Amino acid sequence: MKTCRRAVIPGALLGILFAAIPTLAQSINQSQLRGTITDSTGAVVVGADVTITDTGTNIAQSTLSNSRGSFAFTALRPSNYKLLVKAATFGPVEKSGITLTVNQETTLDVMLAPSSQTTSVTVESIPPLLDSDSATLGTDIPSQYLTHWTVPSSPLFRFDLA
């Protein structure tokens, strides 16, 4: 019984060690990018759409900034990235040339400027939607349209036009 325990314990320890190596290797190769989105006054921007794209593979991940204006991307592979931040009433901001190396934790804060694009709609005239001067609900159809109108030859559609 003692020899059996001596063989089982080292075997179990080796099994645990070999099971942990792939997990350890995966966590070492993952980088992180965090940041805060603010406006030109320094106030945080809540709900900004933040997208990071691996420029080598064109694979994108998106998140929204939280109530503190913060965002985070974890488990990023070492590569070159670009970051795009969009929010209502602000112009989009793109940051390119972001290089993440093995197991790197980087902070990148982004300041948004108010959108310079304004949209103006001018309504000069609106056609009447309802003719309140007349109780007419339709129009007269001249007989020339009815006589040249082709009707399928079915008993349901037969009627006299004369």
| pTM of the full structure | 0.57
Is residue 139 domain-resident? Answer: no
Residues of the chain with pLDDT under 70: 1-28, 117-162
> Is 144 domain-assigned?
no
| Residue 104: closest CA among 69, 80, 132, 136 | 80
Q: Determine contact, residues 108/71, Cβ cutoff 8 Å.
A: no
Q: Is residue 54 part of a domain?
A: yes
- 83 with 108: CB under 8 angstroms? yes
The answer to the question of residue 141 being in a domain is no
The answer to whether residue 92 is domain-embedded is yes
Q: What is the CATH number of the domain that holds 100?
A: 2.60.40.10
Residue 36's pLDDT is 96
146 found inside a domain: no
* Residue 126 pLDDT: 47
Domain residue limits at 106: 28-112
The pLDDT of residue 116: 73
Question: Which pLDDT value is given to residue 84?
Answer: 95
As for how many domains the chain has, the answer is 1
